[in-house]
């Protein structure tokens, strides 16, 4: 078999795996570099404000996705295998079918037409809490959002223990580097302060919390 035939066979195999493969089975523990091939689609404004599977309200203007098997907060690099475009997204939801569903904002990074679906390569690039990876998507200016902060700790272990006791889906750890490391426990990435305040009033009862305005 010549080189051209081998390349063609591999391409057909890749297409077959994407189009006809079994439901995405993610290896655990999840690790950076893990790679999968799956159809990539998008879901839109009809779901705006509704709770995702992680408990975080859906915001079509954020770089998030619905994907099976990955822990909430996992950072995925999604690539169009028919082109050269990529986008980094954070897992906050579960899809209803064997696809990775992106927000419209994220899907536009891959396809300006924003129509139908495309064949995607999905690679784990970060674990929950590594939100700075989203900066790869932004060519100009920082990403701006609001979040609800539940506490700040001197060690990662204490922050994780608090998250385990918190019982609120979608909590993540934001590492602030300065004279000393501070591990801030936060929930949500809201497009406006009112949405964050509503979440605080409804979901953070019994906790001393503060709404934080973030640019990253």
- Decide if 121 is inside a domain: yes
Residue 104 structure tokens: 């419209």
What is the percentage of the chain residues whose pLDDT exceeds 70? Answer: 84
Same domain, 177 and 124: no
Tell me whether residue 128 is in a domain: yes
Give me the half-sphere count of Cα atoms (radius 13 Å) on the Cβ side of residue 15.
7
Average confidence score pLDDT of the chain: 83
Residue linked to tokens 């570099």: 33
Residue 25 C-alpha from the chain's centroid: 18
pLDDT confidence of 38, banded at 50, 70, 90? Answer: very high
Range of the structural domain that residue 198 is part of: 144-215
Cα 112 off chain centre by: 20
User: Residue 120: pLDDT band by 50, 70, 90 thresholds?
Assistant: very high
Tell which residue, 100, 46, 59, has the closest CA to residue 77: 100
Q: How confident is the model at residue 103 (pLDDT cuts 50, 70, 90)?
A: very high
* Residue 210 located in a structural domain: yes
Report d(CA 169, CA 53) in Å as an integer.
8
- How far apart are alpha carbons 149 and 64 in whole angstroms? 20
Number of domains in the chain: 2
Q: Does residue 160 fall inside a structural domain?
A: yes
pTM of the model: 0.57
Nearest to 25 by CA among 105, 122, 153: 122
- Burial class, 80, CB count within 10 angstroms (exposed 0-12 / middle 13-18 / buried 19+): middle
Cβ count near 13 (within 10 Å): 11
Domain stops at, among 115, 137, 159? 137
Q: Which of 137, 157, 173 is the last residue of a domain?
A: 137
**The tokens of 191 are what?**
């497009």
Question: Is the same domain home to 189 and 154?
Answer: yes
**Between residues 7 and 46, the one the model is more confident about:** 46
Inside any domain, residue 4: no
Three-state DSSP state, 103: coil
Q: Is the dihedral of CA 177, 182, 188, 194 positive or negative?
A: negative
The predicted-structure confidence for 14-33, as pLDDT tens digits, reads as follows: 444 444 445 678 988 888 99
For residues 56 and 155, state if they share a domain: no
pLDDT at 15: 42
In degrees and rounded to multiples of 5, residue 179 shows phi and psi of -60, -30
Are 151 and 128 in a shared domain?
no
* Mean pLDDT across 147-164: 91
Determine the 3-state secondary structure of 136 from DSSP: helix
CATH number at residue 210: 3.30.70.1070
Which one has a higher pLDDT value, 185 or 177?
A: 185
Q: Final residue of a domain: which of 122, 137, 152?
A: 137
pLDDT at 150 over 90: yes
Tell me, what's the pLDDT at 21?
Answer: 46
CB 70 within 8 A of CB 185: no
Q: Which of 13, 18, 12, 27 is nearest to 98 (CA)?
A: 18
Q: Tell me, yes or no, whether 174 and 154 share the same domain.
A: yes
Looking at the domain assignment, is residue 78 inside a domain? Answer: yes
């Amino acid at each position: 078999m010549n080189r051209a035939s081998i390349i063609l066979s591999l391409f057909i195999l890749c297409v077959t795996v994407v189009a006809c493969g079994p439901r995405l089975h993610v290896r655990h523990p999840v690790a950076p570099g893990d790679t999968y091939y799956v159809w990539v689609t998008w879901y839109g404004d009809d779901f705006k404000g509704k709770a995702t599977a992680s408990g975080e309200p859906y915001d079509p203007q954020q770089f998030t996705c619905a994907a099976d098997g990955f822990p909430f907060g996992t950072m995925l690099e999604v690539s169009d295998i028919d082109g050269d475009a990529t986008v980094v997204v954070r897992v906050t939801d579960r899809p209803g079918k064997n696809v990775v569903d992106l927000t419209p904002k994220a899907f536009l990074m891959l396809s300006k037409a924003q129509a139908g679906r495309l064949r995607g390569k999905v690679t784990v690039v970060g674990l929950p809490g590594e939100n700075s990876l989203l900066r790869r998507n932004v060519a100009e200016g920082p990403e701006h959002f609001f979040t609800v902060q539940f506490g700040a700790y001197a060690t990662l272990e204490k922050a994780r223990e608090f998250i385990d006791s918190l019982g609120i889906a979608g909590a993540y750890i934001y590492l602030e580097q300065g004279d000393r490391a501070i591990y801030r426990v936060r929930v949500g990435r809201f497009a406006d302060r009112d949405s964050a305040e509503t979440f605080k009033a409804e979901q953070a009862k019994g906790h001393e919390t503060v709404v934080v305005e973030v640019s990253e």
